[in-house]
Amino acid sequence: MEWLQSIGILAGATVGVLVVFIISTIVWVKNHSKGKIYLYLVESNDDVNRYMVDITDESKAVLRRQEYDVVPGDCQFRTLWPSGVPKFLQERVASQMHIRNVGPPINPRKGGGQKDITAKSRYALSDQRMLEMMWKDVRRDLGIGGGGTTSLKSWSTWVTIITLAGVLGLGVFMYLLYVKVSALGV
């Protein structure tokens, strides 16, 4: 009966930690997205970078000493942020697309549709070199491979480290529980 009580305590602690983590993540996302806009910046080499940027009083988004106009209406759309987490932890935020170093936004709804997808862009989506570059960026961001140092600034890196430590601790605890129950002869 003592082992059942131990497993109950373990399950309760695990659920408690999960609930605290989920609630703190939801609160952090809501607070971090208030008064901000998610900018998609199209670079000169056709890369698209994304930034969460504060909106100033003059309806401008300032990123690295460059101002971008914040224009509500057709130029604005909604994006789930942050990417890479379950949908229930994400927040819908205002988003705009800009060309780097150009103040006014791009209207993504104008002239869109299938005609914008060309044979060249379809090839780029399946190009092996493009996929290799994408994975190289992912490895660089995670700090793995290529002799780079691990970036501990990313919150996803910290979440991964904490999760792995928790799983390891849970494994050690379960092993000790198994040894204790085996010693009792149950």
- pLDDT, tens only, 35-79: 888 988 888 888 888 899 888 877 788 888 778 888 887 788 888
User: Would strands 36-42 and 48-54 be described as parallel, antiparallel, or unpaired?
Assistant: antiparallel
In the chain, the N- to C-terminal Cα span, in Å, equals 9
CA distance 115 to 62: 33
Residue 126 above 80 pLDDT? no
Judged by average pLDDT, the poorest of 19-28, 64-73, 93-102, 168-177 is 64-73
Per-residue pLDDT averaged across 121-142, rounded?
71
Label residue 124 by pLDDT band (50, 70, 90).
Answer: low
Residue 146 above 70 pLDDT? no
Residue 80 in contact with residue 90, Cβ under 8 Å?
yes
pTM over the 0.75 mark: no
Tell me what pLDDT residue 76 has: 85
**pLDDT > 90: what percent of the chain?**
15
Q: Which of 2-16, 117-131, 146-160 has the highest mean pLDDT?
A: 2-16
**Of 154 and 147, which is predicted with more confidence?**
154
Tell me what pLDDT residue 121 has: 59
CA distance 105 to 70: 8
